[in-house]
Amino acid sequence: MAKETSDYISTISDSLISWRRQLHQFPELGWTEYETTYLIGKELSKLGFTLFLGRDALVSEERMGVPSKEILRISETRALKNGVPKDWLSKMEGGHTGLVATLDTGKAGKHVALRFDIDALPIPENKGSSDDHFPTSQAFSSKSPYLMHACGHDGHAAIGLGVATYLSTFQEELSGTFTMLFQPAEEGSRGAKAMVEKGWLDEVDVFLSGHIGITPMQIGEVVASAHGFLATSKLDVSFNGKSAHAGVEPQEGRNALLAAAAASLHLHGIPRHSDGETRINVGTLQAGSGRNVIPDYAEMSLETRGETSILNQFMEDEAIRIIQQTAGIYGVECDIRLVGKGIEASSELGWKEILENATRSSKRVNKIIETFPLKASEDAAYMLNHVRDRGGKATYFIFGTPLAAGHHHPLFDYDEKVLEVALDVYISSILSLS
Ligand SMILES: [Zn+2]
């Protein structure tokens, strides 16, 4: 990397931190990232990118786990109140958040695509005291009592804006075209496929994405190509029984609470698989309406995972069988909805050398690790596989940082120096591959 580029990264380091902190204060769940999309889009349009919003960015019908109309309406009203212009909102209406931005240098060259996820989680941030939570001491903790950027996607979006700023500033010296995907609804594996199906990655030579953190590492350590993306299925289940007076005629009831409770125990009893790792988790369970009423409904959300898509399918099929059979035992109806699905992906060899060469003179990157098992699901798997299936190169980096607490924890936080490192890795990779 030329000294000029390295110095340039230092000059936008303050912007990276300020974007990250702005985003951290206004977390939004998948398909309701109206303010987030606007913040990102506003910056990108200043930089001369061509923007694609709403149905222009993704295939509406391929979205999974879209919240109810009521939740979308409430979120849109909130976004309008908080300053998102009407013309932006009308394009995103009905949960069509996220955006794609393209930049054509006008010179023949590679087509490079980069993907950054932008959604937050339904976790109340532990504001703690100033001493034990950096976002509190620096006064940028979540303004929402229920939501938090507890996975680092605030940082990912900020890094994306950093890359965009670089591409825009240096476009005279660059060649080829750039497509930047700011993907909604990564949590729950719900958004990537809708963007892939729009065709953005059909003719891409190089695809880059990555994640901050995952496991505690030092600043400056970078995994060149992660592996161990777990395939996953997300299921929402309703059990519908019949309520009855618990004292007068309990025999007339059909107990949905017991069906759901029994099902959740049986679900965790699905045997391990000799072909590889699997997971199951019943994450939420709500049932019943009152102490003296036979509960007539229960709602459950669960997920399965597998080291391969085949193993995950085994888990999903078994889960469905168990839920249906358990509902049968209690004489209640069940309705099972698939609200998210992620597929397996593996690492690609050769990225360690590419990255070592690309970052040789970098002051920020000091150790490249060939690969590391993600042991989680990552919606980018759809994108990685799509690009590779068509002969492109694709990788998923992990950017090392100490972590204040694990991902999806109310005290999650990372060292903001990682933002500069990640920006350096993306820019260095672009310069060496395009
Ligand atoms: Zn994440």
Q: Are 116 and 396 in contact (CB under 8 A)?
A: no
CA 244 – ligand 1 centroid, Å: 44
Percent of the chain with pLDDT over 70: 99
Q: What is the pLDDT of residues 270-279, one digit of tens each?
A: 999 999 999 9
Element (H, E) at 52: strand 50-53
Cα–Cα–Cα angle for 397, 400, 404, nearest 5°? Answer: 130
CA 167 – ligand 1 centroid, Å: 25
Element (H, E) at 305: strand 297-306
What is the value of pTM for the model shown? Answer: 0.91
Cβ-based neighbours of 266, under 8 Å, separated by 6 or more:
322, 326
Q: Are 95 and 185 in contact (CB under 8 A)?
A: no
CA 57 – ligand 1 centroid, Å: 21
CA 389 – ligand 1 centroid, Å: 24
Cβ-based neighbours of 175, under 8 Å, separated by 6 or more:
105, 107, 108, 109, 110, 434
CA 223 – ligand 1 centroid, Å: 16
pLDDT of residue 374: 87
Q: Where are the domains of the chain?
A: 3-230+344-433, 236-342
Q: Are 381 and 232 in contact (CB under 8 A)?
A: no
CA 424 – ligand 1 centroid, Å: 20
**240 falls in which pLDDT band (50, 70, 90)?**
very high
CA 105 – ligand 1 centroid, Å: 31
The CA-based dihedral angle spanning residues 151, 157, 162, 167, taken in that order and rounded to the nearest 10 degrees: 130
Helix (H, G, I), strand (E, B) or coil at 149: coil
Half-sphere exposure of 24 (CA within 13 A, CB side): 27
pLDDT of residue 380: 93
CA 2 – ligand 1 centroid, Å: 31
Which CATH architecture fits 236-342?
Answer: 2-Layer Sandwich (3.30)
Name which of 194, 197, 165 is nearest 180 in CA terms.
Answer: 165
Q: Are 139 and 232 in contact (CB under 8 A)?
A: no
Look at residue 1 and tell me whether its pLDDT is greater than 70.
Answer: no
Mean pLDDT over 51-60 rounds to 97
CA 4 – ligand 1 centroid, Å: 32
Name which of 397, 392, 402 is nearest 358 in CA terms.
Answer: 397
Fold of the domain spanning 3-230+344-433: Aminopeptidase (3.40.630)
Mean pLDDT over 96-111 rounds to 96
CA 295 – ligand 1 centroid, Å: 36
How many CB atoms neighbour CB 325 within 10 A? Answer: 12
Helix (H, G, I), strand (E, B) or coil at 79: helix
CA 283 – ligand 1 centroid, Å: 18
Q: Where are the beta strands (DSSP E) in 129-230?
A: 177-183, 206-212, 221-223, 227-229
CA 160 – ligand 1 centroid, Å: 15
